[in-house]
């Protein structure tokens, strides 16, 4: 299972979640941007991290935190190449944003500024100078009942964590919105194109595996099952 990272970035929580699901993680970063690494794996996981460079989607540069253009470019290439191979893909937080931009969508550069007075749900909470890694009681994702996400977690409302200040603005045409919070922030996407497994979530299931009655573990398990059954195909 390919697990993306920033150069010198920490992804041990994602790797632990992958191992827990019975798969083997392979870390990759933009320091060695070789798409042939996809030949060695059966699934792609795009992980969290810094903001996507606003230049990639025509966003305002003043509202973003530090970005990594080299990582953006590599992950855009990876998610497109994985799609061409019909490879199972699981995108988390920044990964959802990367996938949306890679397929032609745009982003909200900063949720509080965008929503203004309507910003009544915390999408990240600070604790001792760090983003809270657990569940946020009011961060309830409403899930479409005809979605793969619903079939995996078995509920139309899921309390999740949240560690993001950016989000999807315009959803890419080839993706479908299947989860959102009551303030309209998009929290989950699925593919409109054919894929054995393609899911993107804005929250961090790798951090809440012991907190949400099995929903997070079910996501990783479903991804791992699809990867084990993966039959490579190049389109």
Any residues with CB less than 8 A from the CB of 127 and at least 6 apart, and which? none
CB-CB neighbours of 211 under 10 Å: 16
Q: Can you tell me the distance from the alpha carbon of 72 to that of 70, in angstroms, rounded to the nearest whole number?
A: 5
Residue 158 clears pLDDT 70, i.e. is over it: yes
Mean pLDDT of the chain: 92
Instruction: Please give the pLDDT value at position 189.
Output: 98
> Cα 2–196–48 angle (5° rounding)?
35
Confidence of residue 134 (pLDDT cuts 50, 70, 90): confident
pLDDT above 70 covers a percentage of the chain that reads 92
- 21-49 residue pLDDT tens: 999 999 999 999 999 999 999 999 999 99
Architecture of domain 2-228: 3-Layer(aba) Sandwich (3.40)
Instruction: Please give the pLDDT value at position 114.
Output: 77
Q: What is the pTM of this model?
A: 0.94
Section 160-164 average pLDDT: 91
Section 161-170 average pLDDT: 93
Q: List the catalytic residues.
A: 93, 204, 206
Phi-psi map region of 82: left, alpha, beta (phi>0 left; psi -120 to 50 alpha): alpha
Q: Where are the domains of the chain?
A: 2-228
Section 153-175 average pLDDT: 95
Residue 233 clears pLDDT 70, i.e. is over it: no
Question: In 3D, which of 84, 92, 104 has the Cα closest to residue 39?
Answer: 84
What tokens appear for 56 in the block? 């990639």
Q: Can you tell me the distance from the alpha carbon of 132 to that of 129, in angstroms, rounded to the nearest whole number?
A: 9
CB contact at 8 A, 174 and 192 = yes
Question: In 3D, which of 208, 219, 78, 62 has the Cα closest to residue 139?
Answer: 208
- 110-121 residue pLDDT tens: 887 877 766 678
CB contact at 8 A, 206 and 13 = yes
- 64-84 residue pLDDT tens: 578 899 999 999 999 999 999
Longest Cα pair distance anywhere in the chain, in angstroms? 49
Instruction: Please give the pLDDT value at position 167.
Output: 95
Residue 129 clears pLDDT 60, i.e. is over it: no
Section 138-154 average pLDDT: 97
Question: In 3D, which of 29, 26, 1, 12 has the Cα closest to residue 88?
Answer: 1
Confidence of residue 127 (pLDDT cuts 50, 70, 90): low
């Amino acid at each position: 299972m390919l697990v993306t990272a920033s150069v010198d970035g920490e992804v041990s929580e994602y790797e632990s979640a992958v191992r827990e699901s019975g798969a083997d993680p392979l870390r990759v970063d933009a320091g060695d941007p070789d798409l042939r690494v996809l030949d060695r794996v059966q699934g792609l996981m795009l992980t969290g991290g810094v903001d996507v460079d606003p230049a990639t989607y025509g966003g305002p540069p003043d509202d973003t935190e530090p970005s990594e253009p080299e990582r953006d470019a590599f992950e855009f290439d990876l998610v497109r190449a994985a799609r061409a191979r019909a490879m199972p893909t699981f995108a988390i937080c920044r990964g959802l944003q990367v996938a949306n931009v890679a397929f032609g969508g745009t982003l909200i550069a900063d949720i509080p500024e965008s929503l203004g007075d309507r910003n009544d749900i915390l999408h990240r909470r600070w604790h001792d100078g760090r983003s809270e890694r657990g569940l946020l009681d009011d961060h309830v994702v409403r899930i479409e009942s005809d979605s793969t996400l619903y079939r995996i977690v078995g509920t139309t409302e899921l309390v999740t964590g949240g560690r993001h200040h950016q989000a999807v603005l315009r959803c890419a045409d080839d993706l479908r919105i299947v989860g959102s919070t009551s303030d309209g922030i998009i929290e989950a996407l699925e593919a409109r194109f054919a894929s054995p497994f393609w899911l993107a979530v804005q929250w961090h299931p790798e951090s809440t595996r012991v907190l949400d009655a099995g929903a997070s573990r079910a996501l990783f398990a479903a991804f791992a099952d699809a990867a084990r059954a993966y039959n490579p195909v190049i389109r």
